[in-house]
Structure 1
Amino acid sequence: MKIGEISKRAKIPVETVRYYEKIGLLPEPDRSASGYRSYRPAHLDRLLFIKRCRNLDMAQDEIRELIRLAENPEADCSGVDALLARHLHHVRERRQELASLEKTLEHLQRACSEGRTVRECGILDGLTTELEVLETSDKHNHVPGTHGQGHS
């Protein structure tokens, strides 16, 4: 199947399919005589696996490690379990960070009252004041999918 078809079947944009190839999560497909990529059912299976992992907010390195572990089906699955345990720990940490973020945003929102100018805005003042605190804090990045497997 061509890239458009596998993209449609996996419900993943064509650009993402190419990206997964580029970073080595998806093996390069064969090429037809005219140069078009020719994907096999195994490519679709891999794309769906990657998609499920991304839906669980797993990072590329975690997915790469799971793929590596899956390539040895007779091995002990303790490596898979350990990876999932690390990921779960990270998710729990992020949940706590998001709860703290929510409280900070609620506090900032309470700082605003109607009838003020932008210059008098309590939210902007709070962001300016708290910026120093945020810059010096040792928080992990809260952007989904940006954590590495090294966090425990």
Structure 2
Amino acid sequence: MSDLDQQLKEAFALADLSNFKWLTDAEIKALPKPIKKGSMSVPLDKETFEEMRDATVFTGHWATQARQVMKRARLFRVEVRMYQIGVKEPIQAMAVMKRPDTVHVMWKAIGEASGFIMSENKDAEWDAIRSKAVVKV
């Protein structure tokens, strides 16, 4: 496990995110395949929640069966990928829900993860256009 992964795990263990389990690299590799095809991709380059919500892109079942996917309590997973300017690989954090809930609780996880990544890399310049959160189920 990388040092950043360990720091993410420790930081989110202290946060009030009791329904989320932040994963290590090994746990990410061991995840089963999602039960629904596609995802909800949230751009992180917007100023307000409403702008982020309106710019969200849905693919697969998320686009064709949106109400069924999002309204039902499920074990959603969220991956936040943030890119530094001039760096090819993202800094990322991934979480899964411990108990089924609706997709709306994922907004808090996205905010917490992106805020933590930025606070741990204070001198970094972020490529906001490439940075995003991807939610699957």
TM range (shorter): under 0.3
Relative to the length of structure 2, the TM-score reads 0.24
Task: Give 1 or 2: higher strand fraction.
Answer: 2
Task: Return the index of the structure with the highest Cα Rg.
Answer: 1
Relative contact order, higher structure (CA 8 A, sep 6+): 2
Relative to the length of structure 1, the TM-score reads 0.23
